[in-house]
A and B are shown apart, each in its own frame.
Chain A
Amino acid sequence: MDAIRIDNLTKYYGASRRRTRGIEQVSLTVAQGEFCGFIGPNGAGKSTTIRTLLGLIRPTEGSVQVLGLDIGKDREKILAQTGYLPSEVMFYPGMRVRDVLKLSADLRRKDCRREAAALCERLQLDDSRKVRELSFGNRKKAAIVCALQHEPELLILDEPTSGLDPLMQREFFEILREKNRAGTTVFLSSHVLSEVQRNCTRAAVIREGRIIACDSVEALSHSSAKRVTVRGQIRTDSLDGVRDLQEVPEGCSFLYSGGMKELLAVLASGEVHDLSISEPDLEEIFMHFYSRKH
């Protein structure tokens, strides 16, 4: 059974004449127990997809199944087994952290005090503080505890690390890895590619409301594009598949997705003192996907 199964999901906002695109024909599956990243810049459709998964918005077309259940019909059953961390955390004014955690647990009809206390300790969160006095990072920690304290089967995290300092980010991902090892599926949206590369086994890339790539992080990193760095002088204008051409000291660097034979011919005809051809990191892949014209 897939933890998440999205088929041809389309969401338009607004009335029919003035409607704006949220996402179009998005299809995506996340297997149970997977640690999956969801990459895209602001406005690409990450939050629209996530909100549809949670039943906060209704799809214009397509279907969404979470933990084998239809979000339109079994929203409450799905949410009982799901933990959600929103990108912008807001709580009710005047409440203390412990009141927020208790409210969240009561709405789930569960006693989560032991797990909440353990998480607060690991994240160094003082649960006696009023939420309005909390910094953005501490509000985020409170939201993390809310999302995790009921030990859900599926975690949906929207830009989870914004506001957390590096040490806390490390602790947070350590907690996520522990949960994932215990069987929890993690679906995490981010535009910080390094954290997806470090923590996720699979990732989907969304661009202008459409999924443009979905594969294992390893496979995405080994895409056909290579980073070529040359010290010396070559003529790249005859090459097809050159992107992100940059001048570097005494040479140039570019992403190359054309034929190797043509590249070798250009290198042989140029004046090359040093050469490096490497796999691009996910950041470069991301830029590669985003610069591509469809």
Chain B
Amino acid sequence: MTLMKHELRQGRISFAVWTGAIAALLVICLLVFPEMKGEMETVSHLFAAMGSFAAAFGMDRLNFGSLTGFYAIECGNVIGLGGAFFAALAGVSILSKEEGEGTAEFLLAHPVSRARVVTEKLAAVLLQIAAMNLIVLVASLLSICAIGEAIPWRELLLMHFACFLLQIELAAVCFGISAFLRRGGFGVGLGIATVLYFLNLISNMSEKLKFLKYVTPFGYCEGADIIANGGLDARLVMIGMLFAALGVAAAYRNYCCKDIL
């Protein structure tokens, strides 16, 4: 576990900044909810009339005036997008940075197998993601208590769980890509997270492009669907986890036999 602890220490500032930023934005959103609650009754009708733009964000199917509706849109986007960026960046750089920063030679001259390097680095990424989600969830629950609203346990936990799975999938796919890169790859990570986010928006806007939900993990994070169905779309989740498994397998396969230049 030496390498995992080392990675957690190396990534502690990035972890603190992303977790702090996401939790703070979430708390701010929730703290302003009571003020916006009254106005949202009319705004919800307005959103419903905005056609495909509102559909893109699932606003046509949610009541912005209720905590669950508000949480699914405002907070869902903060956790979904913020968490996706964090997960993608953590995954895409963790293997490639060693070669980019010239530390691979130092690390791999020690008696550690490449498979152990991959395993411990993957564990560090997953642990960071789990810790971030736990902190954000606690911040969210405390904020809801602070504004005096009842906690919609089932919907809230499902939305957080969906975001956690999304981050796992993105981190695993980016982790696989990281094994093929020789430099940090921050642009690749941000690019993948952004493209997948927009693919989900596009799939919400057009019936013909609904199939894109099978590609993007944001598809099973759609707050409107989770609230309406009372659960996650198991088929989309399974496809997502398959992508994640492929990413991890690619990382092991390539990193264990690549030349360290």
Contact = CB atoms under 8 A, between A and B. Distances in A.
Contact of A90 (B6, B10, B101, B259): B101
B157 interface: no
A249 interface: no
A86 B6 contact: no
Contacts of B108: 54-56
Interface residues of B, number: 21
A108 B106 contact: no
Contact of A79 (B102, B111, B257): B111
A91 B103 contact: yes
Given A107-B3, A108-B111, A58 B257 contact: yes
Nearest to B257: A58
A124 to B, nearest CB: 22
B110 interface: yes
Given A51-B260, A107-B2, A107-B3, A90 B111 contact: no
A: interface residue count bin: 20 to 34
A75 interface: yes
Contacts, number: 64
Given A58-B257, A58-B259, A90-B101, A107 B110 contact: yes
Interface in B98-112: 101-112
A170 interface: no
B110 A88 contact: no
B6, B101, B105, B113: which has the most chain A beta carbons within 10 Å?
A: B105
B109 A106 contact: no
Given A13-B259, A54-B109, A56-B105, 12 more contacts: A56-B109, A56-B259, A78-B111, A79-B110, A86-B106, A90-B101, A90-B105, A91-B103, A92-B6, A104-B106, A104-B110, A107-B112
Interface of B: 2-3, 6, 10, 101-113, 257, 259-261
7 contacts: A51-B260, A77-B111, A84-B109, A86-B109, A104-B110, A107-B2, A146-B106
